[in-house]
Structure 1
Amino acid sequence: MELHARTREILNDLIAFPSVSSESNQALITYAAGLLDDCGAKIDFTTSPCGRKANLFATLGPEVDGGILLSGHSDVVPVTDQDWSSDPFNMEERDGRLYGRGSCDMKGFIAATLAMAPIYATQVNARPIHFAFTYDEEVGCLGAQHLAEDLTARGILPGVAIIGEPTEMRVIEGHKGCYEYSTHFHGLPGHGSAPDLGVNAVEYAVRYVSELLQLKQRLRGMAPVVSHFDPPWTTVNVGAMQGGVAHNVIAPKAQVDWEMRPVCARDADLVKTELRRLCEEELLPEMRQIYPEADITVETIGEVAGLEPMAENEARRIMSELTGANGADLVAFGTEAGIFQALGMDVVVCGPGSINQAHKADEYLSLDQLDQCLSVLKRLGGYL
């Protein structure tokens, strides 16, 4: 079957798997593993702690360091409360576009790599090519972190990683990190007429948020001298705040949901250190003077490392040659790329489709973008 048609066939199959992050992705992973096994690839799985999800890592060629890794996440965001024009889990072609949940984010790239696998199997020589398909990227890059631990334990280190997130086939060499937290405040309820006899969790949460806002302003003045990010500084956002029972009740519980997007690890360390100091030296001593069991706990929703631009980057060189790009760009959205970079790989993000279509109703991948991706992947075989 012709390559383009085969890719569309695989993409149709992938979209039919409703691999929303809240559900299992194992049927999709088993399907992809079967296609790679047919090509003679060595197949490895890492199962999630819950046992319902898995990563797939497959290799064509010798088991040596320095190979090329093609990576994508298998999970998609929900379609709940979205007004789709067609069944989101049944691929439909209209006006030169392939519609379906995950078509661009990022099953289109995965389909293209799976369609290319039989060709790579005939081309691979001294340099292996790897395929990594992960779980739970959309909820904190959990699968990629699990895969990184597994690769480290097994002593496998690809030299180059290409993360196929939708960039319209632009070569992306950097993005900020994304750290998300929920901070929980546990106080002592009481009657509002006697505030000194209780510990008002909402009031302490407000002081915590005040510190976050001060740090937010402080970070604006700490932007690197040369920063191509927009905005160029580390950002902080307070996304939600809940707490309290009624007008006349001292609030026993409160919660602050917040995130930061650091341009460098130093900024993330600063924010966490200052908040820890506030809690340990000011808030908790005051709370526990009245109620010894009062507490403040920080729940880490996800800490996704950023992708830092590097002076020397083989992945950037290869993809720039293949796409004809004169340079590489930065993006605002996060990916799994920083996790692989932290292992020592040269990494770029480059894949078909537009991020502007991701997570929305009527998500689509244009046929033109799919063809551009296949053209690049075909020429990638020359680097094996």
Structure 2
Amino acid sequence: MAAHVYSIAMPAPHSAPSLDAHTTREILDRLVSFDTTSRNPNRDLIDWIAAWLLQRGVEAEILPDAGGGKANLHAVIGPRGPGGLALSGHVDTVPVDGQAWSSDPFTLREANGRLHARGAVDMKGFVASALACVPDLLERRLHRPVHLFVTYDEEVNCAGATALVAHLDATGDKPDWCVVGEPSGMKPIVAHKGRLSLRVRVRGKAGHSSQPEFGANAIHAAARAVARVADEQDRLAREGVRVDGFDPPFSTTHVGTISGGAILNIIPESAEFDMEWRTVPGDDALAELTRLQDHVARHIEPALKAGGGSGFVYEILNELPPLSLPPGHALAQSVRHASGHNAEGRVSYGTEAGIYQNAGIATIVCGPGHIAQAHQPDEWIAVSELEACDVFLRRLVDSTVARA
């Protein structure tokens, strides 16, 4: 679907929270009130942000997905054209199902210097801080643009960031630098692992369990493949590429879910499992997948097919490239100065940053709060972290794209 520029003729939805929000805390209060769990549409929230920006004189492009229920938002403050600095955050969140919250997850609650709500730290807090600084940016003499990226589905497959990059490639309106505000304690993160997640389906042949020679047990075949994954994890820990700064400093793999069968006395004709690799820069997850497929084809599938099964099918669920900002890059220097952190970090979780890097945009991760506070009941972000982020963003803009 084509991009839509939010205009005065299209006001914010009637049910949306008030646009009268100025501080980071006030904006965060509005953002968390939208239930943007990844399974839900996010258009009401995106429309609210676009209307909030328009009220302050900034037009935003709304970039819907194929179904129209979800969308990215791209806004530019300052002169249009390529180059400049992007501030990027996703607004989808993980579910609250089954979690014991002390209060409504979608109502911001303050207690003991902490702000509690789903998405408060991951990562609507950074988005709120970026929006709160827009009026100040409009007063600055920007010689290069400041881009705002707001994306969908980061928690699922990063489809939003992938679509946004395609839009930037098509328009040529691409920044030179990008800060992804995932929670890092305001410490600059110059590298993170890549992630390849996979669903493996196994098709055997049903039969009575008393006559195994007349069937092909899909669970047994899947179990042999899972055992191979466990062996590969041991190999990576023992022999894998080491990159200092990661914890652990090598690539990892594991199986997270497995299912199959219908009843005990029937040979199961189907089974499936979900697995992943998290790779350090320099390792290739697709090469690891090929290793697994070759092993299965040589050592597991022949017996399965001899019993009447059809074999293994591999479905890639998500491919997230690693991030690795070159040592001494000017962006890292600017972020260190603006954040007040001399050290740089590396993390094992993935972000949208690798997607922007692969698109030719130098990217770093730096945002308020800590990843351990995310995805938990009573998720929270410290008020002091948001205040630090407010200062950081203004310092970064002043040192990179604003005239003295």
Asked if residue 352 in structure 1 is aligned to residue 352 in structure 2, the reply is no
Aligned-pair distance for 1:64?
2.3
Aligned CA-pair RMSD: 1.9
Aligned residues: 380
Match of 2:317 in 1: 301
Q: 2:285 aligns with which of 268, 272, 275?
A: 268
Q: 1:9 aligns with which of 16, 26, 35?
A: 26
Is residue 219–residue 267 contact of structure 1 (8 Å, CA) maintained in 2? no
Match of 1:202 in 2: 219
Is residue 314–residue 346 contact of structure 1 (8 Å, CA) maintained in 2? no
In structure 2, how many angstroms separate the alpha carbons of the residues matched to 1:175 and 1:184?
29
* Aligned AA (1:247): L
Tell me the secondary structure at the aligned position of residue 266 of structure 1: coil
Is residue 157–residue 343 contact of structure 1 (8 Å, CA) maintained in 2? no
In structure 1, how many angstroms separate the alpha carbons of the residues matched to 2:296 and 2:73?
41
Aligned-pair distance for 1:125?
2.8
* Aligned AA (1:376): F
Written as runs of structure 1 = structure 2, the 5 A alignment for 1:77-226 is: 77-226=94-243
Tell me the secondary structure at the aligned position of residue 79 of structure 2: coil
Is residue 218–residue 269 contact of structure 2 (8 Å, CA) maintained in 1? yes
Query: Which stretch of structure 1 is more off in the superposition, 160-169 or 61-70?
Result: 61-70
Q: Residue 357 and residue 51 in structure 1: after superposition, are their counterparts in 2 closer, same or farther (change >3 A)?
A: same
Written as runs of structure 1 = structure 2, the 5 A alignment for 1:300-379 is: 300-379=316-395
In structure 2, how many angstroms separate the alpha carbons of the residues matched to 1:141 and 1:225?
27
Q: Residue by residue, what CA displacement relative to the aligned partner does 1:341-367 show, whole Å, maximum 9, x if unpaired?
A: 111122111111122211111112211
In structure 1, how many angstroms separate the alpha carbons of the residues matched to 2:117 and 2:242?
42
Is residue 218–residue 268 contact of structure 2 (8 Å, CA) maintained in 1? yes
Q: Residue by residue, what CA displacement relative to the aligned partner does 1:115-147 show, whole Å, maximum 9, x if unpaired?
A: 111211222532100000101111122211221
Is residue 195–residue 285 contact of structure 2 (8 Å, CA) maintained in 1? no
Q: Residue 256 and residue 76 in structure 1: after superposition, are their counterparts in 2 closer, same or farther (change >3 A)?
A: same
In structure 2, how many angstroms separate the alpha carbons of the residues matched to 1:216 and 1:377?
40
Asked if residue 20 in structure 1 is aligned to residue 37 in structure 2, the reply is yes
Aligned-pair distance for 1:282?
4.4
Is residue 353–residue 364 contact of structure 2 (8 Å, CA) maintained in 1? yes
Give ranges in structure 1 of 5+ residues lacking alignment: none
Is residue 181–residue 302 contact of structure 1 (8 Å, CA) maintained in 2? yes
Q: Residue 280 and residue 349 in structure 1: after superposition, are their counterparts in 2 closer, same or farther (change >3 A)?
A: same
Q: TM-score, normalising length from structure 2?
A: 0.89
Tell me the secondary structure at the aligned position of residue 283 of structure 2: helix
Aligned-pair distance for 1:178?
2.0
Is residue 137–residue 143 contact of structure 1 (8 Å, CA) maintained in 2? yes
Q: Percent identity?
A: 38
In structure 2, how many angstroms separate the alpha carbons of the residues matched to 1:39 and 1:65?
23
Written as runs of structure 1 = structure 2, the 5 A alignment for 1:225-236 is: 225-236=242-253
* Aligned AA (1:184): R
Is residue 160–residue 314 contact of structure 1 (8 Å, CA) maintained in 2? no
Is residue 159–residue 345 contact of structure 1 (8 Å, CA) maintained in 2? yes
Q: TM-score, normalising length from structure 1?
A: 0.93
Q: 2:274 aligns with which of 257, 272, 297?
A: 257
